[in-house]
Amino acid sequence: MAQKTHFADRLIAAIQKKGTPICVGLDPRLENIPAHITAKAMKEKGKTFEAAAQAILEFNKGIIDAVHDVVPAVKPQFAFYAPYGFAGVWAFEETCKYAHEQGLVVIADAKVNDIGSTAEAYANAFLGKVGLFGAETDAPFVCDALTVNPYLGTDGVKPFIDVCKKQGSGIFILVKTSNPSSGDLQDQIVCEQKLPAYELMGHFVDSWGADEIGKSGYSSIGAVVGATYPSQAAALRKLMPQTVFLVPGYGAQGGGAEDVKPCFNSDGLGAIVNSSRGIIFAWEKEGDEKKFAEAARNAVEDMKQDLYAI
Amino acid sequence: MAQKTHFADRLIAAIQKKGTPICVGLDPRLENIPAHITAKAMKEKGKTFEAAAQAILEFNKGIIDAVHDVVPAVKPQFAFYAPYGFAGVWAFEETCKYAHEQGLVVIADAKVNDIGSTAEAYANAFLGKVGLFGAETDAPFVCDALTVNPYLGTDGVKPFIDVCKKQGSGIFILVKTSNPSSGDLQDQIVCEQKLPAYELMGHFVDSWGADEIGKSGYSSIGAVVGATYPSQAAALRKLMPQTVFLVPGYGAQGGGAEDVKPCFNSDGLGAIVNSSRGIIFAWEKEGDEKKFAEAARNAVEDMKQDLYAI
């Protein structure tokens, strides 16, 4: 679906409208989906990938219905759909479409990366228009933004930026990721600039996004900065004031409100904080699987309060 | 499909049996597929993603039929299937399955990467077994190996290695990619070791793969090293003698036989050289679209001669 307005402006407006920078991660691990949903799917379609896809979509719709009026964005993680092959990817497509229909900003988390001409194919698939027998059609995945891995450098990222410019979509480029080993490469000090590699990438992202700044003052070329590394986030926030940070690592991965604080600018904006398991599987703590959607909404409200405190 | 034997041993055996280290890249850009195939698909299914998927699969089967007895491996590139959504992913699945049935080693090129628990989902989807309603089933993508991006560090790679160990599959980790901007990050000298980042990654790959060395003397944890950077390839070859290199960049990207030479060990082994467009769309040069399969086979024979010369 063509987006003619500016991605960062749209995201910032959604954050302001909902009054919170929460992104709900749609990581539908099949084994954590309530039994009444999986049992129904299995009864109708057996122990098949199609049944898994049906269960995932029903679960996601329940979550989306429960949270769409209180959060600005969702982030479906491609890795949790791929294990069910094309049926799983169908559920991914339908999830993106449904979330979009419910007015949510959809950030596809696939961390794609490739050389220029191949990256262009990914950019079209997730964010652009697809050539089809001499015509052009809407991309299959109805996304507003996509995560991108920068290991290949400028010409691997440029095709995404070109599509963003044309379609009013956005990307979030991995800069400092939330996992324990992210420092193996990202924390290495590069000699020429005497900076850790993640700051070097921060400079790249800042320059790649310089021409994509909207009325909100933020660029559609964003960065992924983990909540689990608050001091590194503070350095990056200073280095790239006009970049929106997509912040994973809150909740299940150990990041708290104090940890995400450095990701925000003094205007209270500039970051969108993701929580996946802590929200969508909140029912496991409360114990009533039938109330999984209500539990998710409650978890959003708790997270909202937690973030208010910062 | 479970692979109980060792990936690198299987790959080396296939290279020796076919007498050449050629991998055919299955990058089915729809606009380059012969018109008699696309016209038939459109006639049956309209200008739809399903028609695109049908055309892609028919084209790929034609190529596979033409080359399966003369090359050891194929490399379907996920980016060229994703633009057609779940239908495109169906064609990817069927392509992997068909290539495997024809006795080819299948290297899925998706350059996946994520944090540990999410990387595990990708590892299962492409290389392992998938949990399905309390049972375990074969992964949807019948692949022998998968490309992996190392930006996230050890704990983002480890889940793939665990699955490789269990299933006898392999991975190829991006070390020095073939694109013009690959140096933006990969060529940065890291202070502590006084090495370019790609050599640091080479050391990581060497150590990650140290426990996965088979009877052939090669590890199932391989590296992607572009043909377009021969001197860097020579340094990496020295640094990681037991690692198999997957070498993109030959042909359309500008790499020639002399450029891939440094990727090989003195035993004449240790690398598999990919060519995509130069083989599968060779018919465009010869002009007869009906003979696309024959043209592909001829292109393989030419490449084989070219590589013999080194």
State the Cα–Cα distance between residues B15 and B269, nearest whole angstrom: 8
Q: Which residues pair with B279 in a beta bridge?
A: none
Number of structural domains found in chain B = 1
For residue B172, count CB atoms less than 10 angstroms from its CB and return exposed for 0-12, middle for 13-18, buried for 19 or more: buried
* H or E segment to which residue B26 belongs: strand B22-26
Please tell me the total number of residues recorded for chain B in this structure: 310
pLDDT tens digit sequence for B274-305: 999 999 999 999 889 999 999 999 999 999 99
What is the CA B34 to chain-centroid distance, rounded? 24
Q: How far is A40 from chain B (nearest CA, A)?
A: 12
Interface predicted TM-score of the whole assembly (ipTM), two decimals:
0.97
Calpha distance B93→B106 (Å, rounded): 11
Q: B32, B49, B103: which is closest to A86 by C-alpha?
A: B49
Query: Which of the four pLDDT bands, split at 50, 70 and 90, describes residue A46?
Result: very high
- In DSSP terms, A235 is beta-bridged to none
Please state, as a whole number, how many other Cβ atoms lie within 10 Å of the Cβ of residue B179: 24
CB spacing of A185 vs B192 below 8 angstroms: no
Q: What percent of chain A has pLDDT over 90?
A: 94
d(CA A256, CA B154): 24
Q: Cα angle at A264 between A259 and A269, to 5 degrees? A: 140
**SS3 per residue for B156-179:** HHHHHHHHHHHHCCEEEEEEECCC
Q: Where are the alpha helices (DSSP H) in A195-291?
A: 197-208, 230-239, 257-260, 277-280, 283-286
A2 — pLDDT class (breaks 50, 70, 90):
very low
Question: Does residue A180 fall inside a structural domain?
Answer: yes
Are B269 and B218 spatial neighbours (Cβ–Cβ below 8 Å)?
Answer: yes
Whether A139 and A128 have beta carbons less than 8 Å apart is answered as: yes
**CA separation for the pair A246, A173 (Å, rounded):** 9
> Radius of gyration over alpha carbons of chain B, in Å?
19
Number of C-beta neighbours around residue B38 at 10 A: 22
- Token pair of B42, please? 């459109």
- What residues of B are annotated to the active site? 111
Contacts of A142 (CB under 8 A, 6+ apart): A1, A93, A96, A97, A100, A106
Domain contains B55: yes
> Are A133 and B32 within 8 A, CB to CB?
no
Residues whose CB falls within 8 Å of the CB of residue A283, separated by 6 or more in sequence, listed in order: A34, A289, A291, A292, A295, A296
Cβ atoms of residues B256 and B281 within 8 Å: no
pLDDT at B2: 44
Does the pLDDT at position A3 exceed 80?
no
Choose from A37, A133, A172, A177 for mutation: most chain B CBs within 10 A: A133
8 A C-beta contact, residue A205 and residue A173: yes
Chain A residues whose beta carbon lies within 8 Å of the beta carbon of residue B228 = none
CB atoms B197 and A190 under 8 Å: yes
Alpha helices in B128-273 (DSSP H): 154-167, 183-186, 197-208, 230-239, 257-260
Look at residue B2 and tell me if it is in a domain: no
The model's pLDDT over B198-255, given as tens digits with 9 standing for 90+, comes to 999 999 999 999 999 999 999 999 999 999 999 999 999 999 999 999 999 998 888 8
pLDDT reported for residue B215: 97
**pLDDT interval class at A254 (50, 70, 90):** confident
Task: Please state, in angstroms and rounded to a whole number, the distance separating the CA atoms of residues B71 and A104.
Answer: 48
Split at pLDDT 50, 70, 90, the class of B310 is confident
**Position B85 in a domain:** yes
pLDDT of residue B253: 81
Residues of B in contact with A132 (CB under 8 A): 30, 47-49, 52
Helix (H, G, I), strand (E, B) or coil at A49: helix
Q: What is the mean pLDDT of residues A68-79?
A: 98
Does any domain span residue B1?
A: no
- Structure tokens, B277: 């467009």
Which residues lie across from B136 on neighbouring strands? B131
Confidence of residue B161 (pLDDT cuts 50, 70, 90): very high
Q: Which of A29, A155, A185 sits opposite B153 (nearest CB)?
A: A185
- Specify burial of residue A239 (Cβ count, 10 A radius: 0-12, 13-18, 19+): middle
B181: chain A residues, CB-CB within 8 Å: 152-156
Q: Is A194 left (phi over 0), alpha (psi -120 to 50) or beta?
A: left
Give the residue among B302, B297, B305 at the shortest CA–CA distance from B66: B297
Catalytic residue among A40, A61, A111, A291: A111
Q: What angle do CA B31, A157, B236 make, to 5 degrees?
A: 100
Fill in the amino acid letter for B110.
A
**For range B189-194, the mean pLDDT:** 95
What would the mean pLDDT of A264-278 be, rounded to a whole number? 96
- pLDDT band at A23, cuts 50/70/90? very high
pLDDT, residue A1, reads 45
Across A178-192, A211-225, A250-264, A289-303, least confident range: A250-264
Backbone angles phi, psi at B50, to 5 degrees: -65, -40
A110/chain B closest Cα distance in angstroms: 8
Distance, CA of B200 to chain centre? 22
What SS3 state is found at A99? helix
**C-alpha count within 13 angstroms, C-beta hemisphere, residue B267:** 13
B88: closest CA among B41, B40, B128? Answer: B41
Please indicate, yes or no, if residue A1 is contained in any of the structural domains.
Answer: no
Confidence of residue A140 (pLDDT cuts 50, 70, 90): very high
Q: Check B151 against A155: CB less than 8 A apart.
A: no
Range of the domain at B85: 7-308
- State pLDDT tens for residues A9-21: 999 999 999 999 9
Taking an 8 Å cut-off on Cβ atoms, the answer to whether B133 and A183 are in contact is no
CA distance A162 to A212: 10
Q: Is the pLDDT of residue B1 over 70?
A: no
pLDDT tens digit string along A51-61? 999 999 999 99
Give the domain CATH number at A295.
Answer: 3.20.20.70
Q: Indicate whether B288 belongs to any domain.
A: yes
pLDDT tens digits, residue range B69-78? 999 999 999 9
What does DSSP say about strands A189-190 and A195-196: parallel, antiparallel, or unpaired?
A: antiparallel
Q: What count of other Cβ atoms lies within 10 Å of the Cβ of residue A51?
A: 23
Is residue A56 a part of any domain in this protein?
yes
